[in-house]
Amino acid sequence: MHPDFQIKAGIFATTVAARYRPYITCNQIYMNHPNYLSCIILAVSSFLLDNCTQKTKDNTQTTDLVSSYRDTTVLPGNDFFQYANGAWIKKHPIPVSESNWSIGREVQDEIYTRLRKVNEDAAQANAQPGSNDQKIGDFYGMGMDTVTLEKKGLSPLQPELDRIAAIKSNADVPAVVAHLQVMGVNALIGPSVDQDAKNSEQIALYLWQSGLGLPNRDYYFIQDKRTQNIRQEYRQHLIKMFTLLGQHQTTATQNSDRVIKLETALAKASRKLEDLRDPYANYNKMAVADVNKLTPGVDWQTWLSQMQVKKQDSVIVGQPEFYRTVGQQLKTAPVADWQAYLQWHLVHTFAEQLPKAFDDEHFRFYGTVMQGRKAQRARWKRVLDEEENAMGEVLGKLFVSDYFSPVTKKRYETMVDNVVLAFREHIEKLDWMTPPTKEKALTKLHQIKKKVGYPDKWKDFSDLKIDRSSYVQNVMRANEWWHRYQLNKLGKPVDRTEWSMTPQTYNAYYNPSNNEIVLPAAIFAIPGLRDEEADDAIIYGYAGASTIGHELTHGFDDQGSQFDARGNLKNWWAPTDEALFKKKVKGIVKQFNQYVVLDSLHVNGKATAGENIADLGGIVIALDAFKKTPQYKSNETIGGLTPVQRYFIGYALGWQGHQRGERLAQQILTDVHSPAHLRVNGPMSDIPEFYAAFGVKPGQKLYLPDSLRVKIW
């Protein structure tokens, strides 16, 4: 709901969060790092908050979160998000170390504390070499050993800096890029390993646009004062980082300009956020020999072998025009430009594992300028984040054994079944879809694989080397481990049991190639409320709508609907149905295009369409599932709220939080998700039951005439 989603380290990482294939959709994504979507470790919390109470089935008193978090001075029909969450927001200011704060962040702090104890114990133990305890202890111990880190300085990176300095001609550049890719430096190109979008039984090699230091292409060209300032600050950041590498101010300034010039050329050839969401336009399968034609003078078979890719017959190029520009730059950009560019991306990738001066400057730009944060997060928390990156499933085993009981797992598996049944009934009743298309839609729905809680099979990290030599080298080795792990999938059967999120990740996703929804254990947590204390109305809104129904709907949004029941990119729609569906999608695009945040930033309705469709679909589908529960049928109030009112507030609870303006501006430009308050207020404007539940009337801000309300599923 409000997590930052973690990408596994290494360039060939699993690509659930749209790093390479943005039509694989997550419940919520925010960016904390310049090029990557970062992580948050969240889990079940049992502490109680505030003083409002409700009675459980055994007549005991518990916290009634929905009552304590409301701002009743706000009319639900004017701003439902503020009405449902306003009191909580007033009581929870954003800490100086954060760019946002949410109810999930409250839980994160508790879990950080528990994981810290596990890591500190492991660091002090004389654990068996090669054991998980040894890896955890050594990773954490080196991350916290700032004395050794300062003493080593740049020495762990020196071999790579020497390799870059040894470049004599443009012909030398690809080999150095390949070497850096293996250790997780995302310079110039974006290779990945994933299922073939048009043949989900095969694993394919993808090439995606990449190689920028700013979040995406738009930052290099937008002319508003906010973005111009970011570009100016970016140049100063580059100069500072080059001076920290030991370069004279004049040289550092020249190298900064070289990097910006090269990145701007790459950005110009990169596609916009909304254009990356077209799965057909971003699927260009070709023989490796034909990729050579995009980049004359570059031998891709050799280049791939330098990245440890065994002989590969074909590759799927996402954006051919980007790789055409890569080829041109490899021929024409001066060697000095390439040296500066690769030095920058190397130090940029590992800045947080280098001496304090590098870490502080990295934070100044990416944390303060880009996100509005005033201070660094505690180091031990950042080391835990990096450990999650490196070997999160090791921590996942510990997590599920303590925080996700079989009873809880069963509750949510049953809820998934109930929401699927409600979705089936919605499809059957659609008045705009013909019977043949309905039949195929139902087939796809019934074949969606449902993964709840945690994987049945855990990843084996036995051959990952972690020791007490160097923090940055531990991170490098973890990156290389993930690189080899992904490459090892090529030429082998697809493992449809694999998870691409850890159980302690407070998020969820739909993968169209597997036709699956994946719901980690932590996504079901309500901070401050034990699972057995939460009534069905809250649970169906919080988990059934914003997570389960949301992810199911992704299989039928503007992107997911283009994949068939087996996960293949294949049109299964009758032409008339497809035309009607696209017309409905245009309605939600138009609706969200009209929303403005901060001073003048419009939501990108086209880029966010899939998530907005899934939000709306999740709410209406899970509502019908909730209507079959005893609580709904009893119509008894709790805390003065009817079951339906509590359902809608339960949904809003999932988006409870606020963020700094800098981060919000970045989200508008880089994220396929709308801001949290609009993920509540936007769909509510389209739902008749919301109008009835809260007496929404003409003249109130969320009111839309029936003719303008979007109805899809």
| Structural Rg of the chain based on CA atoms | 25
324-328, 524-528, 650-654: range with lowest mean pLDDT: 524-528
Confidence of residue 8 (pLDDT cuts 50, 70, 90): very low
DSSP H/E element including 26? strand 25-26
pLDDT at 110: 75
Report how far residue 543's alpha carbon sits from residue 553's, in angstroms, rounded to the nearest whole number: 14
Confidence of residue 533 (pLDDT cuts 50, 70, 90): confident
**pLDDT over 50 (residue 52):** no
DSSP H/E element including 519? strand 516-520
**pLDDT over 60 (residue 620):** yes
pLDDT at 26: 66
- DSSP track, 654-668: TT-EEE-HHHHHHHH
Average pLDDT of 574-596? 97
Q: CA angle, 672 as apex, 71 and 584 as ends, to 5°? A: 85
The residue type at 562: Q
pLDDT at 24: 56
Average pLDDT of 396-418? 88
**pLDDT over 50 (residue 190):** yes
Which of the pair, 515 or 527, is modelled with greater confidence? Answer: 515
Q: What is the pLDDT of residues 356-383, one digit of tens each?
A: 999 999 999 999 999 999 999 999 999 9
Query: Can you list the positions of beta strands (E) in 254-410?
Result: 284-287, 314-317
Chain-centroid distance of CA 329 in Å reads 31
CATH number of 25-113+381-708: 3.40.390.10
Confidence of residue 435 (pLDDT cuts 50, 70, 90): very high
**pLDDT over 70 (residue 117):** yes
CB 228 within 8 A of CB 235: no
Q: What is the pLDDT of residues 293-307, one digit of tens each?
A: 999 999 999 999 999
Q: Averaging pLDDT over each range in 2-11, 65-74, 506-515, which range is the top one? A: 506-515
pLDDT at 46: 30
pLDDT at 142: 97
pLDDT at 95: 96
Confidence of residue 599 (pLDDT cuts 50, 70, 90): confident
Average pLDDT of 491-513? 94
Query: Considering only CA atoms, which of 101, 81, 97 is closest in space to residue 676?
Result: 81
Q: What is the pLDDT of residues 458-486, one digit of tens each?
A: 999 999 999 999 999 999 999 999 999 99
**pLDDT over 50 (residue 2):** no
The dihedral over CA atoms of 441, 445, 449, 451, expressed in degrees to the nearest 10, equals 140
Task: Pick 163-353's CATH classification: 3.30.70.260, 3.30.360.10, 1.10.1380.10, 3.40.50.1360.
Answer: 1.10.1380.10
pLDDT at 7: 33
Mean pLDDT of the residues in the chain: 90
pLDDT at 62: 45
Average pLDDT of 193-197? 97
Confidence of residue 27 (pLDDT cuts 50, 70, 90): low
In which residue are the tokens 């945690």 written? 454
pLDDT at 9: 34
Query: Considering only CA atoms, which of 29, 23, 5, 30 is closest in space to residue 510?
Result: 23
Confidence of residue 16 (pLDDT cuts 50, 70, 90): very low
Which of the pair, 164 or 51, is modelled with greater confidence? Answer: 164
- What are the residue ranges spanned by the domains of the chain? 25-113+381-708, 163-353
DSSP H/E element including 193? strand 189-196
Give percent of the chain above pLDDT 90: 82
pLDDT at 64: 80
